[in-house]
A = this chain, B = another copy of it.
């Protein structure tokens, strides 16, 4: 279907982590209208199977397509890793995940040619980051580590807790002393642990935040296809979630860095 520059951008994530991507999009593309869908009723995706994540990604995509989006952004690393290709095959919409932008930034950043990637079990098992990196430069050495406790630690609000530092040392210890100079934060929750991760990895390791890179790439893509909202248009965002638990607004404010996040609850898995 023909798209117009005034159509909204659609973003989905397994939950609220993708709000770090939304925040960057608002900053980089202030004239765009953005629709965010957080699948909080089925969060997390990181410990689920390929097939299940694809099924959820399709349902989320259909929800956003019904709202007439001109560009789909999969803001969740696990969903990008498992479902990006399937979504591109199945739906006629411009789309972007967080893996390619993160991989590209890491390849540009590294001098030692040694790049570390951390993420959920699903993202690490998928090998999506090493594949994307090696598509750009096959000489880069990659080191990967799944860090399943990082998401619950962020959601508990323990961003700079001694427990979090001990967990980080346990996960990242084996990566120290390997001349790694670039580390991809391969999960949208991890930018909130930048301080602790930097303390463990040392000041010489650059942390690549896929949220920032994805927002930049979204702008480039929209310019390329001539669908960038005009400068005079009024931007804004709408947040939809599939579940609204009691502590929702604390976590949402944490990610978006705003006091109050207005949201609407929707059900995506009952619509055929």
Residues of A within 8 A of B (CB): 40-43, 47-49, 51-52, 121-122, 125, 148-149, 151-153, 155-156, 162-163, 166-167, 170, 242-247, 269-270
How far is A41 from B156 in the complex, measured between Cα atoms in Å?
22
Complex contact B149–A49 (CB within 8 A): no
Pairs across A and B, CB under 8 Å, 29 listed? A40-B48, A41-B48, A41-B52, A42-B42, A43-B47, A47-B155, A47-B245, A47-B247, A48-B243, A49-B244, A49-B245, A49-B246, A52-B243, A52-B245, A121-B245, A122-B245, A148-B155, A148-B156, A149-B149, A149-B153, A149-B163, A151-B152, A162-B166, A163-B163, A163-B167, A163-B170, A166-B166, A269-B269, A269-B270
Main secondary structure of the interface of A (DSSP, over half): loop
CB distance from A269 to the nearest CB of B (A): 6
How far is A167 from B43 in the complex, measured between Cα atoms in Å?
23
How far is A167 from B156 in the complex, measured between Cα atoms in Å?
11
How far is A182 from B49 in the complex, measured between Cα atoms in Å?
39
Across-interface contacts of A148 in B (CB, < 8 A):
152, 155-156
Across-interface contacts of A40 in B (CB, < 8 A):
48
Across-interface contacts of A149 in B (CB, < 8 A):
149, 152-153, 156, 163
Most buried by B among A47, A122, A244, A270: A47
How far is A248 from B35 in the complex, measured between Cα atoms in Å?
34
How far is A270 from B52 in the complex, measured between Cα atoms in Å?
13
Complex contact B125–A49 (CB within 8 A): no
Complex contact A125–B246 (CB within 8 A): yes
How far is A121 from B51 in the complex, measured between Cα atoms in Å?
29
Quick one: closest B residue to A245, CB to CB?
B49
How far is A189 from B162 in the complex, measured between Cα atoms in Å?
24
Across-interface contacts of A151 in B (CB, < 8 A):
152
How far is A123 from B42 in the complex, measured between Cα atoms in Å?
18
Complex contact A48–B170 (CB within 8 A): no
Across-interface contacts of A247 in B (CB, < 8 A):
47, 121
Across-interface contacts of A163 in B (CB, < 8 A):
149, 163, 166-167, 170
With A152-B152, A153-B149, A155-B148 known as contacts, the answer to whether A245 contacts B170 (CB < 8 A) is no
